[in-house]
A and B are shown apart, each in its own frame.
Chain A
């Protein structure tokens, strides 16, 4: 039994509510491993996690180009944003935002308009091999799609599927860039329905996040923060910060 004095009760509580020694040590070892990883070179590696799905399938190679522009004016606005533009040391963006600001308040954050973010680019031949993602949006190429015998389920998805997926995401991105949010939402919903095991899941999630920011969803800022926490050197970082900072509730 714990001796019933306030001080001893609180001391026992401190021990009980703290981390077990083994976990304390394990956390430190994990932290050592993470903080001794050399930072990426200035400018960041192209694509990074965003290209995880940009693999070849069925001989069709897919490149995803992330367009990262602007943002320096916003970067100067708050300390944590300034930190995000130190290329030699990728920084966590604002997961701790409101609390740190409570200690060291910063100036108000400007609101910027959305700008181009993610542009999946297919090789020149790819669009001719697949139907456009939006039937009503663009005329189909003249070449009809060849029909072949049904594939066994164990085969990898046909090349056209990956190209279709990229086209769908490119259309969603284009709609987002033009401010057609409902159209972008519809396309991303369609992507979620039709590509359950998406090859370009990372790109779809990024677009989903940016759309949430553009829609000023209440959880958009937190989601963006979590994204940037997970991928501090993502090449789309600047774009996410620009667009999603404006969504801060």
Chain B
């Protein structure tokens, strides 16, 4: 008899696939490889679930795996890259009614990414994990192996920078009428 998936696998996947996908994307995994890289993360999660001891949250566990997968891709393991690239992500089918939402999303994507590019790497990582992925400061401290006070100070600075960034956008729009 064929074994069934773990009962909670789907729940973990549904809850965290966005987190994993975005993390891989921001970590430099090319769009064409995101699908396979994401699957790789969840496969590793499934295979190593016995090692998950509850000392970290599922999110930080998955993020840890995702960081490793992304690092491997970045290291340029050529055969892996070729394998993943050989199965490119097919563009999703967009309906006309989605057009406006997609335009807004594309704008948000560009704006936030342009802001992230202005941050120092250590601040960027904290901002991404807390403001975008909604991790707790304690989780981020554990994941990055840094003091929680350091997390807090980096977050404060990045939040202030983001607020200034958004304000500047509004000012610019106002000026252009």
Q: Interface with B: A27-35, A68-76, A174-182, A237-245, which one?
A: A27-35
Which of B18, B42, B61 interacts with A18 by CB under 8 Å?
A: B18
How far is the CB of A105 from the nearest CB of chain B, in Å?
9
Q: Flag A80-122 by CB within 8 Å of B: 1 or 0 each.
A: 1001000001111011111110111000000000000000000
- Determine the chain A residues whose CB is within 8 A of the CB of B68 once the complex forms: 94-100
Task: Tell me the bound Cα distance from A62 to B77 in angstroms.
Answer: 30
Which of B17, B50, B69, B159 interacts with A95 by CB under 8 Å?
A: B69
- Determine the chain B residues whose CB is within 8 A of the CB of A30 once the complex forms: 39
Task: Tell me the bound Cα distance from A31 to B46 in angstroms.
Answer: 10
Task: Tell me the bound Cα distance from A11 to B160 in angstroms.
Answer: 18
* B157 sits at the interface (CB 8 A): no
Q: Flag A11-33 by CB within 8 Å of B: 1 or 0 each.
A: 01111111111111011101110
Contact across chains for B3 and A10 when beta carbons are under 8 A apart: no
Q: Flag B61-97 by CB within 8 Å of A: 1 or 0 each.
A: 1011111110110011101100100000110110000
How far is the CB of B66 from the nearest CB of chain A, in Å?
7
Task: Tell me the bound Cα distance from A36 to B169 in angstroms.
Answer: 50
Which of B2, B79, B173 interacts with A36 by CB under 8 Å?
A: B2
Within 8 A of A (CB), among B81-115: 83, 89-90, 92-93, 104-109, 111-113
Within 8 A of B (CB), among A36-74: 36, 38
Contact across chains for B75 and A6 when beta carbons are under 8 A apart: no
How far is the CB of B95 from the nearest CB of chain A, in Å?
11
Q: Interface with B: A124-132, A140-148, A224-232, which one?
A: A224-232
* A197 sits at the interface (CB 8 A): no
* A2 sits at the interface (CB 8 A): yes
* B32 sits at the interface (CB 8 A): no
* B122 sits at the interface (CB 8 A): no
- Determine the chain B residues whose CB is within 8 A of the CB of A102 once the complex forms: 64, 67, 143-145
- Identity of the chain A residue whose Cβ is nearest the Cβ of B167 in the assembled complex: A4
Contact across chains for B131 and A100 when beta carbons are under 8 A apart: no
Within 8 A of A (CB), among B22-50: 22, 25-26, 34-35, 38-44, 46-48, 50
Q: A17-B22, A27-B38 are in contact. Are A6 and B53 (CB under 8 A)?
A: no
Which of A16, A21, A226 interacts with B105 by CB under 8 Å?
A: A16
Contact across chains for B71 and A98 when beta carbons are under 8 A apart: yes
Contact across chains for A15 and B105 when beta carbons are under 8 A apart: yes
Contact across chains for A27 and B64 when beta carbons are under 8 A apart: no
- Identity of the chain B residue whose Cβ is nearest the Cβ of A5 in the assembled complex: B166
* A9 sits at the interface (CB 8 A): yes
- Determine the chain B residues whose CB is within 8 A of the CB of A5 once the complex forms: 166
How far is the CB of A41 from the nearest CB of chain B, in Å?
14
Task: Tell me the bound Cα distance from A18 to B144 in angstroms.
Answer: 22
Task: Tell me the bound Cα distance from A21 to B41 in angstroms.
Answer: 18
* B4 sits at the interface (CB 8 A): yes
Task: Tell me the bound Cα distance from A7 to B73 in angstroms.
Answer: 31
Which of A2, A22, A90, A99 interacts with B111 by CB under 8 Å?
A: A2
Contact across chains for A95 and B131 when beta carbons are under 8 A apart: no
Q: A9-B112, A10-B112, A100-B65 are in contact. Are A95 and B51 (CB under 8 A)?
A: no
How far is the CB of B107 from the nearest CB of chain A, in Å?
5
Which of B21, B38, B77, B162 interacts with A226 by CB under 8 Å?
A: B77
Task: Tell me the bound Cα distance from A32 to B143 in angstroms.
Answer: 28
Contact across chains for B112 and A96 when beta carbons are under 8 A apart: no
* A149 sits at the interface (CB 8 A): no
Contact across chains for B93 and A22 when beta carbons are under 8 A apart: yes
Beyond known contacts A79-B51, A96-B69, A103-B55: 8 more, CB 8 A cutoff = A4-B170, A10-B131, A15-B105, A27-B35, A36-B2, A36-B4, A38-B3, A80-B48
**8 closest Cβ pairs, A-B complex:** A96-B68, A16-B105, A12-B108, A99-B67, A20-B92, A18-B18, A99-B68, A16-B109
